[in-house]
Structures are given as structure tokens and as C-alpha cells.
Chains A and B, each alone.
Chain A
Amino acid sequence: MSSQRHQIEVTVNGKKLRRHVEPRLLLCDFLRYELRLTGTHVGCAHGVCGACTVSINGGTARSCLTFAVQVDGAAIETVESLAARGPLSVIQQAFYEHHALQCGFCTPGFLMSTRELLARHPDPSEQTIRMALRGHICRCTGYVNIVRAVRAAACKLKEEGTGRDR
């Protein structure tokens, strides 16, 4: 049994692409295997750990719970969009400085959700940060340094007056 491949047109990190995909191809696997954007990590593949979080049309989504065929016409941003071959973004730098990662497997997801959080809440309380990041599991840090990093990133972005990370 074979299923028909569908043509999709997506904008990934600002670049317009056209590909043919099998319906069952998950967005995370499309990004990793078709586009070689391996920054998006697949942890649990059933929507629990948050490692595969990307942005679809400006809102975070779990790329393991979305099929590539569903995002035809959409704009996708992955963790690679934060620092495309350049210096680290403000949020990334804050994670680095505050030791908000050890193994780094969950980090791409945390970064994407943090970016969404800080775009909505430029000055989030610890409670707001923890609520916003509750869809992400980190087995290394115990979350304390992640919360610190997010606070620091918020302050830095406010200082810079942009209020929004890349």
C-alpha cells in the first residue's frame, strides 16, 4: 500500500521551498531529514517533552504532532533561525551565560518557547516563565537556571529596547 505524495510550499527560516512529501511524514522529520535542519530535536515523538518545538506562522507548535503536509503555505521557524551562522541571539547568550543547559537536547524547544513568551510578556514573573515553559522537560538542569536565563534575556532585550529576540 502506498499513499500519494503531496506537493507543499513552505517558507522555512525565511527561505521558500517546494517539496513533495508523503502524508505521514512528521514536520520534525521533514525538517531533520529532508532539510537537514537538525537543530530541532525529537525527544518523545508524542507531544510530551517539547524538544521539537518550532514556530508555525508565528506560534509555537510541536513538530512531532504536525505533519509536513499540513503546513503547506505556512512560514516555519526553527531554532536555526535564532543565530544563522552568526553570534548567539540574546536568549541563546543568556542560556549560555546562566548555565541553562547541560546536555542541550531540550534546549532548542526551550529557546523557541522563550522567544514566544518574551514577545508576549517582555517582563515575565517567575510564575509566568514557569507556566510558559511547562510544556518542556529538561532532565539536567532542574529548571532553576533556565528560569534565571529567561529573566536575564528579558532584561537584556528591554535594555536594548527591541523587546524581541531574532
Chain B
Amino acid sequence: MKPSRFEYFSPATATEALEILANYQGAARLLAGGQSLVPLLNFRVIAPAALIDLSRCAGLDEIRRDGNALVLGAMVRQSAAETSEIVRTCCPLITATMPFLGPSTVRNRGTIGGSLAHADRVAELPAVAVALGAKLIAQGPNGRREIAADDFFVGDLTTALTADEMLREVRFPVSSEGERFAFVEATNRHHDLALVGVALKLVLNAGHCEHVAIVVVGIGPKPTRLPAAERCLVGNRLDAAAARKAAALSIEGTEFESEPHMPASYRRHVLPTLVERALLEAVSRGQESQR
């Protein structure tokens, strides 16, 4: 229940952090808020030779608007994102999802980049990044590159980041007029770890669905979109009947896994319920997302 020994570094810049990371050749880990990493250390599931604390790296905790993008630095604390007016105005789905990430004690320390780069299979933020079509900016020894959220999440605890790269910042498209959103999830206890969660973004034009992204966590090793359900919504009027139809299609083509505390039949039952709930909530929430 106590971590193995490790060396500790607290670099002042991301460049310096990457140099240390390279020197350790895969034996070092980057430390963000520590809310997922430190339990793994305490249990000795992982025993890295070094931890590189990113909390003192200049510029990683910025929240800013850059043209049509909301930019969140990797070290922005979740509680800071939650209370930020810029975030609320540009991407209300992020603000609405934050309370689901954990109790405030965790969100005070937990970071945006940490949650995304850790890529837990039931984490909420990866689903939001995929639903919003975010771009994740990686920084490595050869500079920066942009990775679409769709490509960033590879599997449970696995991302497209290479061993010598770090997540630098995330760029979310600023929400447009007519955009609607919702985040809903099923948990054992209220706001506990998600069993199944749905992040939804859609664009409505005169009651018709122009674009929709339905992204699910808890049914696979990474955030999963629901193409069949999405296809049946696009171009059509979005009313209660359409939501029900899309919900029914949400389980099409999906393999559900059984776990000791949750049989596949439960996931298959709860997913359509959540999809329908998300669609109806997004439509009724309407005005909130319009600036």
C-alpha cells in the first residue's frame, strides 16, 4: 500500500520534462493531478523509476479562446475548468460533465490532460472529447502534432501518444448556434464510477437534426460512437419518436461484455435508455447552449 521508490522531478518547462522522459527510456511516468496514477503507485501495479511532475511547467494550466477553439492546457485542474466562464460559454458540455468526474476533492487536483491521457475505459472526459471533435496536441522531441480525439483513444489506458510524447493541450471547437448537448450515465451509486455513460452533441436546425455524435463509455475499451443510431437521426425531425427509434438502434452491432457485477444483459438494457434520455435532455436543454 506504499509506492516503490522513485526519483522525482519537477521541471519548469514541458521541453525539460520531455528531456527527462527521454532519458529514462520508458521507465519514467508523467504525473499530472495524480488522482488515477497514485492509486496505481500505492498498489504497486506500476513501479516507475521516476515521476515527472508537470504541475510547475509553465503555460500548461492555461484556459483560453483561440479563434474558433477553446484551448485547455493539459494541467488545467478539473475544478478550474468547471468554474471557468470561458469554458461555460464556449463548450457547455464540458461544464455540464465535470461534476460526473468525481467528488470536488478529486476535481480540485485532477486535471483535464490527466483524465484524457490516462484513458480509463469508463472515464467521462474522453467521450466528451470525441463527441465534440476535439483535437489533442501532443508534444514530443520533434515538436508538436495534432491528434483527432477519434484517433487518440486506442484502448483501455492506451492512447496514440508515443513513449516520448506528452499531451500538451486540448482544442475543443467552440459550440455553434443550434448546438445541443447532454451527458448522462448509469452508476451503482449516484455520481459514482460510470457503468455506462453517454456524451451527446447534436446540431438542430428548425427541429431537424443536422449533425449528431453519440459517444458511449462502458461498452468497450475506448469511447464508442453509435453510427446506426446517428444515421437514423441525421436529416430528420428530432422528436420523442425519433429519439426512441435511435435508442433502439443503439445496441445494433454492439458486443456487450459481462463482468462479475454487471451482466451484458444489463448494459444492453441500459444503453438505449441512456441514449433516449440524452437525446430528450439535449433537445429540452436547448437555449442553454446558445450564446
Contacts and interface: CB of A to CB of B under 8 A. Distances in A.
A47 B38 contact: yes
Interface stretch (A66-74, A78-86, A91-99, A153-161): A66-74
Assign chain A's interface to a size class.
35 or more
B104 A24 contact: no
A26 B34 CA distance: 12
A24 B105 contact: no
B38 A65 contact: yes
A90 interface: no
Interface in A36-69: 45-47, 50, 53, 56, 59-62, 64-67, 69
Given A1-B5, A45-B1, A132 B104 contact: yes
Interface of A: 1-4, 6, 22-24, 26, 29, 45-47, 50, 53, 56, 59-62, 64-67, 69-70, 72, 113, 116, 130-136
Given A113-B105, A132-B104, A135-B105, A65 B35 contact: yes
B99 A131 contact: yes
B42 A134 contact: no
Nearest to B79: A59
B105 A60 contact: yes
B266 interface: no
Contacts of A69: 8, 10, 53
B140 to A, nearest CB: 25
Interface string B1-33: 111111110100000000000000000000100
A23 B7 contact: yes
B5 A60 contact: no
A135 B38 contact: no
B111 interface: no
Contact of A53 (B6, B31, B55, B105): B105
